[in-house]
């Protein structure tokens, strides 16, 4: 499956209807459309996201942009749900035309 690049626009910590804590991460993808991801603290992918979430939140709060590459849609791309298991890495801001 092809990977994409996206800018994080918002990160919030929420409680699911089952009482589990998770992070809700909103993205603006390079195609200009929005996407989202859910990172649950009980899932294995949390270990990959955990060291970065606080830094991402600080960068967003200071007005910096946070771009990630290596993002993949989970299952149906039309649902615009980013797979939290994506092997992401920090990316530079893409050049504007």
Exposure string over 60-97, b if 16+ CB within 10 A, otherwise e:
beeeeebbbbebebbeeeeeeebebebebeebeeeeee
Check residue 97 and give its pLDDT: 44
State the pTM of this model: 0.87
Q: What is the torsional sign of CA 87, 93, 34, 55?
A: positive
Structural domains for the chain? 4-91 (2.40.50)
* pLDDT per residue of the chain (97 residues) written in tens, 0 to 9: 688 999 999 999 999 888 888 999 999 999 899 999 999 988 888 989 999 999 999 999 999 999 999 999 987 777 899 999 999 999 887 655 4
């Amino acid at each position: 499956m092809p990977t994409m690049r996206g800018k994080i626009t918002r990160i919030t910590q929420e409680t699911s209807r089952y009482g589990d804590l998770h992070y809700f991460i909103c993205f603006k993808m390079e195609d200009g459309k929005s996407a989202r991801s859910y990172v649950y603290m009980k899932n294995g992918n949390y270990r990959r996201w955990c060291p970065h979430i606080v830094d991402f939140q600080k960068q967003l709060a200071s007005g910096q942009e946070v771009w990630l590459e290596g993002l993949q849609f989970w299952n149906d791309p039309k649902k615009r749900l980013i797979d939290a298991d994506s092997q992401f890495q920090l990316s530079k801001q893409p050049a504007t035309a």
